[in-house]
Chain A
Amino acid sequence: MKATTRSVDGVEIISLEGKITIGSGDTQLREIISNAINSGKNKILLELSKVTTIDSSGIGELVGSYTTVTNRGGKLKLLHLPAKLNELLHVTQLITVFEVYDNEQEAVSSF
């Protein structure tokens, strides 16, 4: 998995690309979120349009990331969900947990 980060109006936009799966992307995601939080960035927008595969471990890490950021007084939201990830969030009912956006500006303004 690749990750690139940029800041827009105080929101850390982290774009993820590739697979978030057991033994690779899942642990990477945990580190990325941990690094962001530890450097004082607690408005996090995960941009997911280029995520190709996410398994149950990857979904678990998304949940863990949400909890980590929330527990530190921040917010974590999702942008540009690929269709299959959208289906997985619905079937696991996690769509009720995450705030999901299709428009970046709208997402940034929501923090």
Chain B
Amino acid sequence: MQRGDSERIEITISSRFENIELVQVIAEHLCENAGVDEDGSHWIGMAVREAVANAIKHGNKLDVHKKVNATFDLNGAELEITISDEGAGFDPEKVSDPLNPQNLMKTSGRGIFYMKTFMDQVTYSFQPGGGTSLVMTKNLTGGSGIASTKA
């Protein structure tokens, strides 16, 4: 696959932690096939890992009967990743800043921070009947690694 091609991949998993890696590997391979280097692909894969882990743990509350859907849309150098769960949603405004000194030693609360660090944009939408969709975008020509992923 050459950069400039378009590609759409979709996978649905049950809410088990061991399935996280399946989705992460798809993200990494898609990025590598699109010409992203190993480090850049790794960090995008990590963002996907965090999104799927949140969907399983906080969204679907580890209910294996509930599904997590991941869609990867690659258009040219623009990658859009959507992770959807069947949970009740949450208030993104109430997510604390892990860099705040009073939160630094907390053992949780860094997942969304990871996603925002590794991707260009992260947005949420909540369906009235339940279910959360997280959309992350990344321009694959923007370089790789943490330092170059954040403007």
Residues of A within 8 A of B (CB): 21-24, 53, 55-57, 59-61, 63-64, 66-67, 84, 87-88, 90-94, 97
Contact = CB atoms under 8 A, between A and B. Distances in A.
Contact of A60 (B42, B49, B57, B107): B107
Interface residues of B, number: 25
14 contacts: A21-B20, A21-B49, A23-B17, A24-B17, A56-B113, A59-B110, A60-B106, A61-B107, A63-B107, A67-B107, A92-B98, A92-B110, A93-B99, A97-B104
Contacts of B17: 22-24
B90 to A, nearest CB: 16
B19 to A, nearest CB: 10
B110 A60 contact: yes
B46 to A, nearest CB: 7
A91 B117 CA distance: 8
B53 A22 contact: yes
B145 interface: yes
Interface of B: 17-18, 20, 39, 42, 46, 49-50, 53, 57, 98-99, 104-108, 110-111, 113-114, 117, 145-147
A87 B49 CA distance: 17
A88 B114 CA distance: 9
A22 B53 CA distance: 8
Contacts of A66: 105
B105 A67 contact: yes
A57 B53 contact: yes
Nearest to B99: A93
B96 to A, nearest CB: 13
